[in-house]
């Protein structure tokens, strides 16, 4: 039986996706012959309530100098992080004497706002190619993995942080205790650690199984984060639900006893208990629910193929690697995937080898149906394509169930 990454108790997996490739390993023809895979299972620890991947590839397999995800590809997300940054400045009264650290700053989508406002900041970003884009925006970046040792070296060179921020990064890191020890050391007495990640409650309610892939080691809840913070003499003082990435939660953590705990925390934990997230039964039907989506989607794609329809996909997301590989979606069902990210273009999707083509060719391809892999950006994308999609063309979505729009 696997051992919990947080409390070391044994737990049982509740869903098994089989062998999976690295979600962001978009491959050239040569690389396609030598793909790394790992066994992807997810379990729930009854002792500390943490939902987690049983096995995870080494971090260097995922985060390196050719990392394929660039945060700034979505205009909606650019605005989201601008509003996020300004809310932190207001909460902590930040000024030119303050210090902000972001863990996993990627291309600088969040920190660029602090640079504009002349608030001193530092990004930690191990994937060198995306870090370089952040540097071009005038952001100071350390290209290493954050952990307790790195936190100590930041304190020695800079000062304690008034705000430590992180978005869609904490759930990527298996060595949580070293992270929290580092946060505890780096945080000023009245500092805040604010992070957001895809929310377990949304994943269970919507069966958004494609949030599960190599990079996502944990699916957090207020219950599990409150417990983890406590283990490190820290305290969960606020939670705010976000609509980003299909439903996320923003958690605010402070030194224990220093700041008032918001009613939001108590209310959210009550909600989670009502939903049963603290009981293994909540996870018992998940695998069957995923298989129902698989059966419906595959049936639809085969029907469309038999009718001679042209079906393509939109957004070569990390999430789509779970969908295509678990469902067995090959180029015979989906011709290609269109995406705006240059590093993914003219390569093949991990495992199923669906060609990824430049977005510029999407309109001329004249599809009948478009499978929206970037369903979390549905509002932004459907709005952008509304004129093009109006003539007898249809979107297909599959979270929470298969639908033709």
CB of 241 to ligand SAH, least distance (A): 16
| Token duo for residue 236 | 């969960």
Report the partner that residue 67 touches, choosing among ligand SAH, ligand JHZ, none (CB closer than 5 to 8 A by kind): ligand SAH
Q: Distance (Å, rounded) from C-alpha 46 to C-alpha 281?
A: 11
Residues 6+ apart with CB under 8 A from 34: none
CB of 169 to ligand SAH, least distance (A): 4
Widest CA span of the chain, in angstroms? 66
| Token duo for residue 4 | 């919990």
- Of 388, 309, 378, 372, give the one whose Cα is nearest residue 339: 372
x/- letters, 330..349, toward ligand JHZ (CB under 6 A) = ---------xxx--x-----
- How many other β-carbons are positioned within 10 Å of the β-carbon of residue 97? 9
- Residue 319 makes contact with ligand JHZ by CB under 6 A: yes
For ligand JHZ, the binding residues in 159-188 under the rule CB under 6 A are 168
Q: Distance (Å, rounded) from C-alpha 126 to C-alpha 284?
A: 36
CB of 161 to ligand JHZ, least distance (A): 22
Helix (H) or strand (E) holding 124: strand 121-124
- Residue 124 makes contact with ligand SAH by CB under 6 A: yes
CA 295 to chain centre: 25
| Token duo for residue 126 | 């191990």
**241 contacts 312 by C-beta, under 8 angstroms:** no
For ligand JHZ, the binding residues in 365-384 under the rule CB under 6 A are 374, 376-377, 380-381, 384
- Residue 130 makes contact with ligand SAH by CB under 6 A: yes
CB of 198 to ligand JHZ, least distance (A): 7
- Residue 71 makes contact with ligand SAH by CB under 6 A: yes
Report the partner that residue 377 touches, choosing among ligand SAH, ligand JHZ, none (CB closer than 5 to 8 A by kind): ligand JHZ
**One of 169, 282, 336, 402 touching ligand SAH (CB under 6 A):** 169
What 3-state class would DSSP assign to 316? coil
Residues 6+ apart with CB under 8 A from 59: 126, 145
- Residue 145 makes contact with ligand SAH by CB under 6 A: yes
Residues that bind ligand JHZ (CB under 6 A): 69, 73-74, 168, 215, 245, 315-319, 339-341, 344, 359, 374, 376-377, 380-381, 384
Residues that bind ligand SAH (CB under 6 A): 63, 67, 69, 71, 103-104, 106, 109, 124-127, 130, 145-146, 167-169, 172-173
């Amino acid at each position: 039986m696997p051992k919990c990454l947080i409390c070391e108790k044994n737990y049982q997996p509740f869903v098994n996706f089989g062998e999976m490739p690295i979600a962001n390993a978009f491959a050239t023809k040569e690389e396609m012959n030598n793909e790394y895979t790992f066994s992807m299972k997810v379990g729930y620890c009854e002792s500390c309530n943490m939902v987690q991947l049983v096995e995870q590839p080494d971090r260097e397999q995922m985060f390196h100098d050719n990392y394929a995800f660039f945060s700034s590809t979505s205009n909606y997300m650019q605005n989201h992080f601008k509003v996020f940054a300004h809310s932190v400045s207001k909460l902590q009264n930040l000024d030119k004497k303050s210090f902000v650290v972001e863990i996993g700053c990627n291309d600088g989508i969040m920190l660029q706002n602090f640079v504009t406002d002349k608030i001193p900041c530092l990004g930690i970003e191990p994937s060198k190619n995306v870090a370089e884009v952040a540097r071009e925006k005038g952001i100071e970046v350390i290209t290493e993995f954050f952990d307790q040792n790195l936190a100590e070296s930041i304190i020695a060179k800079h000062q304690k942080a008034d705000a430590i921020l992180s978005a869609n990064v904490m759930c990527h890191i298996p060595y949580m205790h070293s992270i929290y020890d580092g946060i505890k050391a780096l945080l000023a007495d009245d500092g805040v650690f604010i992070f957001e990640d895809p929310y377990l409650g949304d994943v269970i309610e919507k069966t958004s199984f494609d949030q599960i892939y190599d990079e996502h080691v944990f699916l957090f809840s207020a219950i599990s984060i409150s417990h983890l913070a406590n283990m490190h003499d820290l305290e969960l003082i606020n939670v705010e639900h976000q609509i980003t990435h299909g439903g996320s939660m923003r958690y605010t953590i402070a030194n224990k006893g220093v700041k008032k705990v918001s009613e939001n925390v108590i209310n959210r934990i009550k909600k989670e208990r009502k939903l049963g997230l603290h009981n293994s039964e909540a996870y018992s039907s998940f695998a069957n629910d995923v298989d129902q989506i698989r059966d419906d989607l595959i049936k639809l794609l085969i029907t469309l193929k038999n009718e001679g329809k042209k079906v393509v996909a939109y957004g070569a997301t990390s999430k789509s690697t779970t969908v295509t590989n678990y469902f067995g979606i090959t180029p015979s069902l989906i011709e290609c995937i269109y995406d705006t990210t240059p590093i993914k273009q003219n390569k093949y999707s991990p495992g199923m080898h669906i060609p990824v083509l430049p977005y510029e060719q999407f309109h001329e391809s004249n599809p009948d149906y478009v499978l929206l892999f970037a369903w979390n950006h549905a509002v932004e994308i459907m709005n952008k394509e509304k004129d093009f999609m109006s003539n007898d063309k249809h979107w297909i979505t599959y979270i929470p169930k298969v639908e033709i729009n």
